[in-house]
Amino acid sequence: MRRSPRWRHSTITLAAGRASVQIGYNRRLSSVQGTVMAANPSGPVAPWVDVLRVDRAEGGPLAVLFSHAAHAVAVHVADSRFTADYPGYAVRALQRQLGEGVMGLFAQGCCGDINVEPLSMGYAEAERAGGLLGEAAARAAQSAQPLAPGPLGVAGQRLRLPFAPLDRDLIAAARQRGEEAIRTLEAAGKDGAALYDYRELTLWCRRMEALLDAPGGPAVLPCELQGFALGEGIALLGLPHEMFVEYQLYLQRHSPFPHTMVFGYTNVCADYVPTAEALLLGGYEVQGAPRLYGWPSLTPACERLVKDAGISVLQRLQPSPAAPFYMRAG
C-alpha cells in the first residue's frame, strides 16, 4: 500500500501593533460656495500605521502587513509611467530596518477624502513620504504585541447602497447644457483636454438616461464587506470602493477586537462612498468623481448602512467555542 507523504508543518506566530505617522491629510475644505480639494490640516485623518507581523518558527520576522490611509498620489500626474508611488518606497524603508528578506505588504486604508501632501510632486516626494511611513511601520512591527493562537474566522455582508432618484427631464436639460458648452468651446478653437470635463458631462447624462430605461429603473451600488479574524486578537475588515476615512475611524473605534485593520478598495472599486455630511457639502468626491465613474449620487442613508454592516461583520468574527475555523455569512 502506498503511503501518503508526511508533511512537515512549521509554526508561525503573529503580532500586531500601531505607530504614529501622518503622510496623509484631509483634502476637503468647505464653505458656503461648496467644497474644494485642498489640504485641510484640521480635517479627519487616521494618523497612524497599523501592522500585522508574521514571525518564523525559528524566530525573526517573515512578513509585515502594514496599512495607512492616504491616496498614492505623491507622483500622480508628475509622471505618466506606472509606479508603486509612496507604498513602494515604504516597503524599501521597512526592509532597511527589518531586513531585506522580510516581505512588506501594503494595504490601503480608507482614504476617499485623504491625499498625501504635497501631491503630484514626483519621485523625490514619494520617496520622502514612503520613507516616513516605512520607518513608522518598522517601529510598529518591532514593538508589536504577540497574538495568542486562535481559530480563523470569516464573515461578510452584502449591501445595496441606494442612489438618489433621477429626473429624466433634468438629465436631458443637463445634457443640453453640456452640449452647449462643447459647441461654445469648439467655436473658440478648443479641443482635447480642454473639452474633457464637458464631454464627460454629456456621457454621464447619456449613462443616466440608459439607467432610467433599464428594467427596474436605476441600479444600486453593490457593496460587499469581508472580514477575517485571527483568534480573539485581531480582525481584518475589507470595505470596497473609495470609502472616506471616517468609516475606518468609526469601525476601529467600535470594534470588539483589540486590534482592527480596516482597508478600502477591497475586491472592487466602482465609486466613492462619502459620509452623509460630505453629501451635503458637495465637492469632487460627491459630484465629479461619481459622474466619472458613471453613477448617480448616493443618498445620506448609505453612511449608516455601511457603518452598521461593518460592526455586524466584526461582531460575527468573534470566535465560536472550540472552533478551529468558522464562517458566518451575512
User: Read out DSSP for 233-249?
Assistant: TEEEEE--SEE-HHHHH
3-state class (DSSP) for residue 179: helix
Q: How confident is the model at residue 116 (pLDDT cuts 50, 70, 90)?
A: very high
Q: What is the pLDDT of residues 17-59, one digit of tens each?
A: 999 999 999 999 999 999 999 999 999 999 999 999 999 988 8
Indicate whether 123 pLDDT > 70. Answer: yes
Indicate whether 330 pLDDT > 70. Answer: no
Indicate whether 321 pLDDT > 70. Answer: no
> Residue 26 has what pLDDT?
98
Length, in residues, of the chain:
330
Indicate whether 75 pLDDT > 80. Answer: yes
| Burial class of residue 99 (count of CB atoms within 10 Å of its CB; 0-12, 13-18, 19+) | exposed
The percent of residues above 90 in pLDDT, for the chain, comes to 87
Q: What is the pLDDT of residues 255-292, one digit of tens each?
A: 999 999 999 999 999 999 999 999 999 999 999 999 99
State how far the Cα of 145 lies from the Cα of 259, in Å rounded to an integer. 10
Indicate whether 6 pLDDT > 50. Answer: no
Q: How confident is the model at residue 219 (pLDDT cuts 50, 70, 90)?
A: confident
> Residue 2 has what pLDDT?
43
Report the DSSP beta bridge partners of residue 153. Answer: 229, 326
The percent of residues above 70 in pLDDT, for the chain, comes to 94
Least confident range from 78-92, 124-138, 212-226, 280-294: namely: 212-226
> Residue 12 has what pLDDT?
87
**Nearest CA among 8, 41, 17 for reference residue 27:** 41
**Nearest CA among 277, 157, 315, 299 for reference residue 222:** 157
Indicate whether 192 pLDDT > 80. Answer: yes
State how far the Cα of 70 lies from the Cα of 130, in Å rounded to an integer. 11
Domain residue ranges of the chain, discontinuous segments joined by +:
1-146, 148-165+220-330, 168-213
